[in-house]
Structure 1
């Protein structure tokens, strides 16, 4: 192997893995599906190894494909960094961004991947705090951007980018939700999700007791999964092992929450604008979180959340 690997072929290969299918990857790299397939055949010929194989209705990366992936990402990143280093117009600097810890787990990997690939010379300083704290930090100029929900940000102008349904949730392995008094694990007193959940329980005549109150979503999630309390969480915060409680369980439906960006008045540069657009694209491309599978004998209002991860290397069919 003396001739170099084609970077465009590597870019298409990574796009297939990230998009989950040949068809979607063709749209992302602005090529026809046949051109994408041809690039992969040429890359396989160049390496002398199969990178994908069909398994029923899916196409999976082979062991060679999984080995190539880390090399491909590193080569593409280095290529972009090299071009940026000699580009006088390349964006450089730093951006201060904040988001709640549950949003960091759900949304941050996609946002960082998109932004870092396009702007490798920009430093991101990231803070994880509740939405109400982030709104205050924005108003005082301590952050440039914040990804927040309507939890604790009443009166602040949010550039809404995503809607998520709110749910009462409990552990699928425990029956804490069956008690006459509902033990709650909710946010602090200024959290809108907490207020909405309590108001809904009061309107339907359910007794409750706030057992856990915290700014940390992880603490509240732990209390729910341990079977100690019922939580009020958005769809994106659901975890395997949770049960979504519905009307037949004695729990009312809740409204949707709005997720969006707060932007500091003084943060108006090209870097901030680019990051906002990357956030918008990332949230638009994310599927609803943790779509559950329901057994036929379960009540329609009760949903058990199970892991929906693909097997390593699984790619949706469609050459």
Structure 2
């Protein structure tokens, strides 16, 4: 007897696999982490296959999981295309989406792919900048929707996901051992103050070694072991 795949469970699986974990997937799907985990278990039980290796701290796709991911992407894309074709024909036009530099990748590509599949007649113009500039654009009406990275959400906003900050430095580097600790931050990075206060509270001396308007400069400085930086978990390049 032929059986049908649970599309909700399949979407949860693909989102976890692409997002790198249950926490990020829960935010993207607007579900609790336990609900996402339950969907994954339901899919594994239905297929009789183990899709993730859970022996370590990170979720790693098994060979079966890797194969299902390729199928799942195609199935969901076709599902979203059919749904859009017969239910969302009225949605067309243009939307300007503002996204901070630090969350463009890896979270945004799969979201934009699904949006395009669901609303093929909608044109998305993507603007990447700092949170404070995006909020100014939104206030002027220059952007219809913005994502921001902030410590607290403004009135009218919605928290999609909460992520911790993690340290970033050169592979096998030594900059993190130096005192004062040498930091690299963009000029208007909203998390700079958070990091500085945390270091002060821990009694760790620090200094700003590199500052720039460009995120790429910060990445290069850290890769060269000149300083360390802090990024949202899951957004490390």
TM range (shorter): 0.5 to 0.7
1:79 to 70, 78, 82: 82
Residues 178 and 67 (structure 1 numbering): CA distance in 2 closer, same or farther, change over 3 Å? closer
- Name the CA distance, whole Å, in 1 between partners of 2:85 and 2:198: 56
What is aligned with 1:200? 198
Question: Which of 225, 228, 231 does residue 227 from structure 1 map onto?
Answer: 225
Provide TM-score, normalisation by structure 2. Answer: 0.65
What is the CA distance between 1:179 and its match in structure 2?
A: 2.0
Q: Is the 8 A contact 2:13 2:39 kept in 1?
A: no
Classify the secondary structure of the residue corresponding to 1:236: coil
**Is this contact kept in 2: 1:100–1:148, CA < 8 A?**
yes
Per mean C-alpha deviation after superposition, the further-off stretch among 202-211 and 177-186 is 202-211
Shift of 1:120: 2.6
C-alpha contact (below 8 Å) 1:101/1:218 kept by paired residues: no
**Counterpart in the other structure of 2:180:** 181
TM-score between both structures, scaled by the size of structure 1: 0.51
Q: Quick check: 1:174–1:227 contact (8 Å CA) kept in 2?
A: yes
Query: Which has the larger strand fraction?
Result: 1
Deviations 1:99-143 (A, max 9, x none): 112201032123224433332322221111011111111111111
Give 3-state SS (helix, strand or coil) of 2:148's partner.
Answer: strand
RMSD: 4.2
Tell me, in whole angstroms, the C-alpha distance in 1 between the residues paired with 2:42 and 2:189: 40
- Structure 1 alignment gaps of length 5 or more: 1-5, 38-51, 240-319
In structure 2, the CA distance between the partners of 1:77 and 1:212, relative to structure 1 (3 Å rule), is: same
1:10-159 correspondence to structure 2 within 5 Å: 15=11, 18=14, 24=39, 34=46, 37=47, 58=62, 60=64, 72=75, 75-76=78-79, 78-84=81-87, 90-150=90-150, 156-157=154-155, 158-159=157-158
Report the Cα distance in structure 2 between the residues aligned to 1:16 and 1:113, rounded to whole angstroms: 16
Aligned length: 207
* 1:79 Cα offset (Å): 3.0
Q: Would the alpha carbon gap of residues 166 and 132 (structure 1) be closer, same or farther in structure 2, given more than 3 Å must change?
A: same
Q: Could you say which residue in structure 1 is the equivalent of 2:26?
A: none
Structure having the higher helix fraction is: 2
Take 1:126 and 1:56, find their aligned partners in 2: how far apart are those partners? 33
Aligned equivalents of 2:143 and 2:108: distance in 1?
A: 16
Closer, same or farther: CA 26–94 of 1 in aligned 2, 3 Å:
farther
Larger RCO of the pair (alpha carbons < 8 Å, separation 6+): 1
- Deviations 1:77-110, CA, capped at 9 Å, x for gaps: 55345425xx66x322222111112201032123
